[in-house]
Amino acid sequence: MSKQVSLTGIKPTGVPHIGNYFGAIQPALKLAQRYEARYFIADYHALNSMKNPQELRRMIYEVAATWLACGLDPDKVLFYRQSALPETFELSTALMAFTPKGLMNRAHAYKAMVQANTESNRDPDDRVNMGLYTYPVLMAADILLFDADVVPVGKDQVQHLEMTIDIAQSINNHYNRDCFVIPAPLTSEETKTITGLDGRKMSKSYGNTIPMFLPPKQLRKLIMKIITNSQTVEEKKDPDTCNVFTLYRLFADEEKQEELAARYRNGGMGWGDAKQLLFEAMDEMLAPMRDVYQSYIEDTKKLDDILAAGAEKARPIARETVRRIREATGLY
Ligand code: ADP
Ligand code: TRP
């Protein structure tokens, strides 16, 4: 039996941080061991919010280099840019014909924008572009084009997946045939929310991230900024309520975690020491990946070649889906 397909898209809208790594990149790469994986850079989705060409280009390279540095093997995982496959946009147009406007009115990114506008007495559609409004249709096209069985995503994306399923089912029902594979979202309960420098969810929107591949000096400086309480060196401390320790857990083995937990509980350890240990554990794990990342970032031609080769391999699959939909609809 052929393997099921796992597909996901990554928007190049910011420098990847360790929340992205533990919450999205690492789990997706684990899935790639069991599934036929198709992972792409959702650059057209990024265009909705990123209008500076140099910046967008840089982010595409950052995200591509990050996935490769984290272990994505382009010989095993289909790895491409959304914008390299015009079939995405052809399919998207076809899906539009089956997408009720009301469905888009309910999409939460759009609704959040309208609500923010209303609350600040602006026109409800202020700064809402059609890319944002129709975002779920383009996402459905990404997914349906490549026959995805499972789509690993964060919980915030589940609504988009439900819309994809709605649209795909209505087309399959209408033409009474399996034009599309019906995908399922894959959210993992065990994927933890990684906390940022201030103890809230690590997120670009909160400006509390630890980027994955900072040079060691800057990484150390950032770690020293993690917010802790005002306990003195002598005081006994609770590892389980401490940001520094929560992050340490992700990078140190159990023995080391136990060692540091004991130092917390015994007292006599200052926050500076705990942060230094966190830095060392992080650097140990990230350094080898950082070298690979750096080698790609310094050779964007190589990144372009890898992504172009991926698009080349992706195209026959995309063409076949478009052929199916053209045939079903009468657009022969
Ligand atoms: P951000 O919140 O920084 O803008 P994105 O929304 O671009 O991040 O998220 C990209 C992927 O990384 C998503 O799959 C999301 O679930 C995951 N992710 C982002 N931040 C975290 C976090 N703090 N903990 C776990 N996963 C995260
Ligand atoms: N909307 C997703 C996000 O914001 C990115 C994305 C675009 C995506 N197309 C996709 C995810 C297709 C999964 C499948 O994170």
Q: Per-residue DSSP letters for 35-101?
A: SEEEEEE-HHHHHTT---HHHHHHHHHHHHHHHHHTT--TTTSEEEEGGG-THHHHHHHHHHTT--H
Query: What is the spatial distance between Cα 3 and Cα 35, in angstroms, rounded to a whole number?
Result: 6
Both structure tokens of 97: 């014909």
> Per mean pLDDT, which range of 27-36, 184-193, 258-267, 307-316 is the poorest?
184-193
Angle formed by the axes of helices 135-145 and 158-175, to 10°? 70
Place of tokens 């140099």: 54
Query: What is the spatial distance between Cα 17 and Cα 20, in angstroms, rounded to a whole number?
Result: 5
- Give the closest residue (by CA) to ligand 1 atom 18: 20
5, 67, 145, 157, best to mutate for ligand 2 pocket (most atoms within 8 Å of CB): 157
Among the atoms of ligand 2, which is closest to the Cα of residue 160? 1
Strands 150-152 and 78-81 turn out to be unpaired
Three-state secondary structure call for residue 145: helix
- Give the closest residue (by CA) to ligand 2 atom 8: 9
- Give the closest residue (by CA) to ligand 2 atom 10: 9
Predicted TM-score (pTM) above 0.75:
yes
Q: Sorting pLDDT into bands at 50, 70 and 90, what band is 291?
A: very high
The CA–CA distances, whole Å, from 300 to 63, 124, 139, 242, 303 equal 12, 41, 27, 40, 5
CA 161 to ligand 1 centroid distance, Å: 17
State pLDDT tens for residues 13-65: 999 999 999 999 999 999 999 999 999 999 999 999 999 999 999 999 999 99
- Give the closest residue (by CA) to ligand 1 atom 1: 203
Query: What is the spatial distance between Cα 55 and Cα 171, in angstroms, rounded to a whole number?
Result: 38
Res 112: pLDDT:
95
